[in-house]
Amino acid sequence: MPPTPDQESARAPYGPLPSGGTVRPITRWGTPVMHRPQEPVTAYDDELRTLVADMVATMYAADGVGLAACQIGVDRAVFVFDCPDASGRHTVGVVCNPVLALPEGRDRQLEEDEEGCLSFPGAFVECARPDHASVTGTGLDGEPVEFAGDGMLARCLQHETDHTLGTVFGDRLSTKLRKKLQKAHDRLAEDYPADWPA
């Protein structure tokens, strides 16, 4: 994953990501919380702010571009991201209770590109996804938010919304690609101990 820029140079339409969080170990595929729809966010309080700050700290520590709450073991439908679009411009944001919208009909074009997941670290394979995506939801204070983009940002918005629905991107792969992903993961398993990246 590319290094993240200073948040000030990124597009932050709803303000910067919260800082000062604690890096937590990343939860892996196979853990039940990763494979079930997440509980909706109903309280926009200090507990949510602390959770989101920890998610941001963990995402950056792991050199990721997005992270959902279930990836640190918390059953809550929220994700954070700091991700470039096709032009290389980063957007940062927090989305609670995300709802994904994808192009349909003639506007729908699939893009084959490598995809990985911090909860299955070190492994990347080609995964086809629509080349544009938009997500609506709520922000840290319960305000409506909407993000849209192409390139890696489109992929990130889809990938993280999937997490809130209990879907990992391996669920979208053929058996052959899933086996390839597993082999790549197993080769590098020693580089990612159980407490990584804490």
Which of 114, 126, 146, 160 is flagged as catalytic?
A: 160
Q: Is 112 a catalytic residue?
A: no
Q: What angle do CA 121, 127, 131 make, to 5 degrees?
A: 120
Specify the 3-state DSSP secondary structure of 179: helix
Q: How far apart are CA 92 and CA 65, in angstroms?
A: 9
Q: How far apart are CA 159 and CA 169, in angstroms?
A: 7
CA distances (Å), origin 124, targets 89, 113, 127, 149: 23, 9, 9, 22
Which residues does the annotation mark as catalytic?
A: 160
